[in-house]
Amino acid sequence: MRRAAVLGTVGAVALALGATPALGSSHREAPLIKDDPTADLTDVYAWRDAGNPNKINLIMAAVPLEEAGDAPNYYGFGDNVTYDMNVENDGDGKVDITYRFRFRTMIRNGGTFLYNTGPVTTLNDPDLNVRQVYSVRRITWGNSGAVVRNELLADAVPVVPNNIGPRSTPNFPNLVSQGVRRVGASGHTTVWAGQADDPFFLDLAGIGDLVNVRPAGQAPDTVGGYNVHAIAIQVFADTLTVNGRPTIGVWSDTERQNIDVLTGGGLGRWKQVERLGMPLTNEVIIPLARKDGWNQRKPAGDSVFDTYLLNPALAGFVGGPTSGRTDILAVFHTGVSGVNATGGPHADMLRLNTSIAPSAQPNRLGVLGGDLAGFPNGRRLADDVVDIELQALAGELIGNPNDVSDNVNRNDVPFRAVFPYLGFAQSGFQHRHHLPPQ
């Protein structure tokens, strides 16, 4: 009976979300960005490295729901998109450091329709007909918003190609390893970019089918079998923090120029078209009429959205109070006292307290599971943010313990034990969907 009650609660939550297949960590979450997948960010992660606690891992993923077998024009990063990973470190809600990535696509032979003309064994293999490379810059910003330093860390770094199949990419894991590069004058920054398995996990299909949520043991990872294009960065923690302030705020954004749809070129100044910090903010907190506007704003002005956090309608469907929710406001806009509070203006950022050591026994429920090194103190790949946020809405932080769940507790493929940690991209030849339930 308890399981049935939990499932009924999750069903009510899905109904409140509109029973729409747009739910995801940031998969097609707003009207405008859903029509621009190469600029559509899906997830942001930030955590202290367990193997080298002096380092911080930052990951952003884009291009949602990539069908692995979608030949012959496979997915890639946008040539006319700027991908930014932003860090705030002094409590004012404004960007202090940006890692900026720009991509270029090169075609070796325009006379063939093929993505590759033979087996691809290296990132510069002559048989890789469609190649992408990228530049990465570290930009330091002053308090006035002016650029203090703009350092080119590397240029023409190769992107790991799509995982086509056993004939085309016979040793895809080796290609992934080749994509790991140390950049910058000191070599202390490590980067990686390419196709990876979508690291998000939830029963999206059950929610989309008029709240046809499956019981535990029967709920599949609906985004299993799909890929994303991801960017991973690993840096020393002391290059991100300032003295006396161990907690940083992290978010990503994408920018575009005006697009010439006939040529794909861009003109004019760069404009922010999406941002992403805390998972699920724009999906389940921001109302439809304000979603596009939220994407185009900077975090420091997010107090205008406080009312949606203080009075979350969804909380009523999981048995939690629907007003006066200062606990939810703290999680999203200020950080949790004693864990990762930053003070300063209200801002949607993924806050990470870099002074909290990595957990020897990580718990998928993060802070709610007694693991202070997990979400919402940063976000690790295996943190179950759907369950954590649903349980928080139901009152876990204000004396109402619960176990609300969508019954998908892990990713469809294992995360790797080495940088960039993401699971290997799904093979286009295998074309796996409707994976076995957990």
Of 238, 213, 227, 183, the C-alpha closest to 52 is 238
Q: How far is residue 162's CA from residue 230's CA, in Å, rounded to a whole number?
A: 12
332 within 8 A of 347, measured Cβ to Cβ? no
CA distances from 270 to 105, 253, 256, 267 (A): 20, 12, 5, 8
Residue spans of beta strands (DSSP E) within 304-405: 350-353
Q: How far is residue 151's CA from residue 129's CA, in Å, rounded to a whole number?
A: 31
* Count of H-run helices and E-run strands, the chain: 8, 12
List, for the chain, all residue ranges whose pLDDT scores fall below the cut of 70.
Answer: 1-26, 31, 206-208, 210-213, 434-438
229 within 8 A of 66, measured Cβ to Cβ? yes
Q: How far is residue 49's CA from residue 253's CA, in Å, rounded to a whole number?
A: 23
Asked if residue 142 belongs to a domain, the reply is yes
Asked if residue 260 belongs to a domain, the reply is yes
Asked if residue 293 belongs to a domain, the reply is yes
3-class secondary structure per residue, 371-387 = CCCCCCCCECCCCCHHH
Tokens of 301: 């002005």
For residue range 206-250, list pLDDT tens digits in order: 655 754 668 888 888 889 999 999 999 999 999 999 988 999 999
Asked if residue 422 belongs to a domain, the reply is no
3-class secondary structure per residue, the chain = CHHHHHHHHHHHHHHHCCCCCCCCCCCCCCCCHHHCHHHCEEEEEEEECCCCCCEEEEEEEEEEEEECCCCCCCCCCCCCEEEEEEEECCCCCCCCEEEEEEEEEEECCCCCCCCECCCCCCCCCCCECEEEEEEEEEEEECCCCCEEEEEEEEEEEECECCCCCCCCCCCHHHHHHHCCEEECCCCCEEEEEEEEECCCCCCHHHHHCCCCCCCCCCCCCCCCCEEEEEEEEEEEHHHCCECCECEEEEEEEEEEEEECCCCCCEEEEEEEEEEECCCCHHHHCCCHHHHHHHHCCCHHHHHHHHHHHHCCHHHHHHCCCCCCCHHHHHHHHHCCCCCCCCCCCCCCCEEEECCCCCCCCCCCCHHHHCCCCCCCCCECCCCCHHHHHHHHHCCHHHCCCCCCCCCCCCCCCCCCCCCCCCCECCCCCCCCCCCCCC
Asked if residue 431 belongs to a domain, the reply is no
CB neighbour list of residue 168: distance below 8 Å, 6 or more residues apart: 115, 116, 118, 119, 120
Q: Check residue 24 and give its pLDDT.
A: 53
Total structural domains in the chain? 1
Sign of the CA dihedral with 164 first, then 279, 276, and 179 last: negative
DSSP letter for 424, please: B
Q: Check residue 6 and give its pLDDT.
A: 38
426 within 8 A of 432, measured Cβ to Cβ? yes
Asked if residue 428 belongs to a domain, the reply is no
Q: Check residue 11 and give its pLDDT.
A: 42
Q: How far is residue 34's CA from residue 64's CA, in Å, rounded to a whole number?
A: 9
199 within 8 A of 61, measured Cβ to Cβ? yes
Q: Check residue 314 and give its pLDDT.
A: 80
Q: How far is residue 33's CA from residue 19's CA, in Å, rounded to a whole number?
A: 20
Stated pTM of the model: 0.92
Q: How far is residue 81's CA from residue 154's CA, in Å, rounded to a whole number?
A: 18
Asked if residue 407 belongs to a domain, the reply is no
DSSP letter for 16, please: H
386 within 8 A of 394, measured Cβ to Cβ? no
Q: Which domain, by its residues, includes 70? A: 2-398
CB neighbour list of residue 274: distance below 8 Å, 6 or more residues apart: 26, 30, 33, 39, 40, 41, 253, 254, 295
Asked if residue 7 belongs to a domain, the reply is yes
